[in-house]
Structure formats: structure tokens, C-alpha cells
Amino acid sequence: MITDRPARTLATAVPMTWPRTDLRRLGLRATVAVLCLTSALLLTASRLEITRLRYELSTLDRQRQSLLADAARLQVEAAALSAPRRVEAVAAQLGYVYPDRGSVVVLDE
């Protein structure tokens, strides 16, 4: 079929332009998508930080319980080591004796 119109080539073709309303909608959708992605990332990061802090708190609580148990054990051990009967027995092994009554002088203030 032969026509009087010249054939269009790529060089003479009219470029396709988007209507402004479509560009605005696309921009709005892209902005909403970026905001949603950013908020999701922030939420995930905060959740991960909360989980990490819970593990750290659990570890510190176990350490605190262990230290309290050690402190209680050391108090019992200190009480046993400073018991008067034990001190007398150790003093006797080292050769210490009670002083004579006459050699003790009591000072009054």
C-alpha cells in the first residue's frame, strides 16, 4: 500500500512523554515505598538491639548470681577461719601460750 505520507523513522518519531499526573503518582509511590522500607529497617534494627540487650542482661544476671554465691561462700569461710577455737588451735601449733595473770596490765582511760 502506497501512501502520500512519508514513513516515520526512529529519528523522526515523537518521543513518548509521560503526563505530569503519572509522574507525580510515580514519585509519590516511590516516596512511600522508600519510607516503608526505611521504617521496616529501623524497626528490625531496634528489635535486634533489644534482643542483644536481653542476652547481655541475662549474662550479667547469671554473673551477678555467681558473684553473690561466691560472696556468701567467702563469708562462711571467713567466719570459720576466724572462729576462736580455730585461732586457739593454730596459736597452739605455733607455740603461743596464754600469758600469766600477773603479766597482763589493763589500762583505763
Q: Where are the domains of the chain?
A: 20-92
What does each C-alpha distance from 88 to 41, 75, 78, 94, 103 come to in angstroms? 70, 20, 16, 10, 19
Is residue 43 within 8 A of residue 50, CB to CB? The reply is: no
Q: Note the pLDDT tens digit of each residue in 9-38.
A: 555 555 666 667 787 888 899 999 999 999
Q: What is the pTM of this model?
A: 0.52
Q: Note the pLDDT tens digit of each residue in 32-64.
A: 999 999 999 999 999 999 999 999 999 999 999
